[in-house]
């Protein structure tokens, strides 16, 4: 019998963490959690509640607001996919827009926001058998995860992948705008005071600049096998 483990997938923005983590979870029959979607949902909530002015979060009412924002996931019976919810409303599309992407790293640096999200993420991982992707999963959320992967890819390749994804969804964006957003978020994520993006000492690096998803799966399968046996 194989044992259930926790798999943490961290890394830079838009390097395909979600697709990779989702596929691993599917193959193992594990729960997949996109922690970035949670920070994106909080950001959307703050925008909707008028808490952001010129890219800066207003201090007033912040704590109250965080408490009132319920972030979760629900299964879409038609597509069989999990969708992010904010106060019970599916917000999967709205959280993937460039306007949310442009603010999310500022919101994700707020200590109260991180505390709430980490608490929620740990609850989701109680039963093990989980793959979670993000920035601080292997370092802060699940420091004793059995398998930690740190993903990276060249910025231009990441921007091209994200552009394709957003254009397919009908969004009006261009490569320069996306590249600027990726670089800005990478910088903010790595330099923030609380839980900055960094490779955990025991994480294994995966640079997928020139790898297909199938090649990545072959790469990870051996690592998983060693840990679940």
Q: Give the footprint of ligand CDP on this chain (CB under 6 A).
A: 13-14, 17, 35-37, 39-40, 104-105, 108, 134-137, 185, 189
Give residues with Cβ within 8 angstroms of 68, minimum separation 6.
Answer: 87
For 41, 60, 69, 95, 187, the CA distances from 56, given in Å and listed in that order, are: 17, 12, 19, 18, 17
Nearer to ligand CDP, 132 or 224 (CB): 132
Supply the minimum distance, in Å, between the C-beta of residue 137 and ligand CDP: 6
Residue 179's CB is within 10 A of a number of other CB atoms, namely 18
Nearer to ligand CDP, 49 or 165 (CB): 165
Residue showing the smallest CB distance to ligand CDP in the complex? 36
Strand partners, 206: 151
Nearer to ligand CDP, 20 or 39 (CB): 39
Supply the minimum distance, in Å, between the C-beta of residue 102 and ligand CDP: 10
Nearer to ligand CDP, 183 or 228 (CB): 183
Nearer to ligand CDP, 1 or 193 (CB): 193
Supply the minimum distance, in Å, between the C-beta of residue 101 and ligand CDP: 7
Rounded to 5, what percent of the chain is helix, strand, coil? 50, 20, 35
Nearer to ligand CDP, 2 or 174 (CB): 174
Nearer to ligand CDP, 198 or 228 (CB): 198
Supply the minimum distance, in Å, between the C-beta of residue 121 and ligand CDP: 8
Supply the minimum distance, in Å, between the C-beta of residue 204 and ligand CDP: 18
What values do phi and psi take at 227, rounded to 5?
A: -90, -25
Q: Using DSSP, state whether 192 is helix, strand or coil.
A: coil
- CA triplet 217, 218, 220: central angle to 5 degrees? 65
Residue with tokens 């069989």, as numbered in its chain: 80
**Of the candidates 50, 20, 49, 45, the residue with the CA atom closest to the CA atom of residue 34:** 20
Supply the minimum distance, in Å, between the C-beta of residue 37 and ligand CDP: 6
- CA triplet 181, 124, 223: central angle to 5 degrees? 75
Supply the minimum distance, in Å, between the C-beta of residue 8 and ligand CDP: 10
**Of the candidates 1, 12, 77, 71, the residue with the CA atom closest to the CA atom of residue 43:** 71
């Amino acid at each position: 019998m194989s044992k259930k483990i926790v798999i943490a997938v961290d890394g830079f923005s838009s390097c395909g963490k979600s697709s990779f983590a989702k596929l691993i979870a599917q193959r193992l029959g594990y729960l997949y959690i996109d922690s970035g979607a949670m920070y994106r949902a909080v950001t959307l909530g703050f925008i909707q509640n008028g808490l952001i002015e010129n890219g800066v979060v207003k201090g007033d009412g912040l704590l109250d607001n965080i408490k009132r924002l319920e972030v979760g996931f629900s299964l879409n019976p038609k597509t069989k996919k999990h969708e992010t919810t904010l106060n019970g409303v599916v917000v999967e599309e709205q959280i993937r827009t460039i306007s949310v992407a442009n603010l999310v790293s500022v919101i994700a640096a707020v200590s109260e926001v991180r505390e709430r999200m980490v608490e929620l993420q740990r609850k989701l991982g109680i039963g093990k058998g989980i793959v979670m992707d993000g920035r601080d999963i292997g370092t802060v959320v699940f420091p004793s995860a059995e398998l930690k992967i740190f993903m990276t890819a060249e910025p231009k390749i990441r921007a091209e992948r994200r552009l394709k994804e957003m254009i397919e969804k009908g969004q009006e964006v261009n490569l320069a705008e996306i590249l600027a957003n990726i670089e800005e978020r990478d910088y903010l994520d790595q330099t923030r005071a609380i839980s900055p993006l960094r490779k955990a000492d025991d994480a294994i690096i995966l640079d997928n600049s020139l790898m297909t998803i199938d090649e990545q799966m072959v790469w990870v399968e051996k690592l998983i096998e060693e840990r679940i046996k």
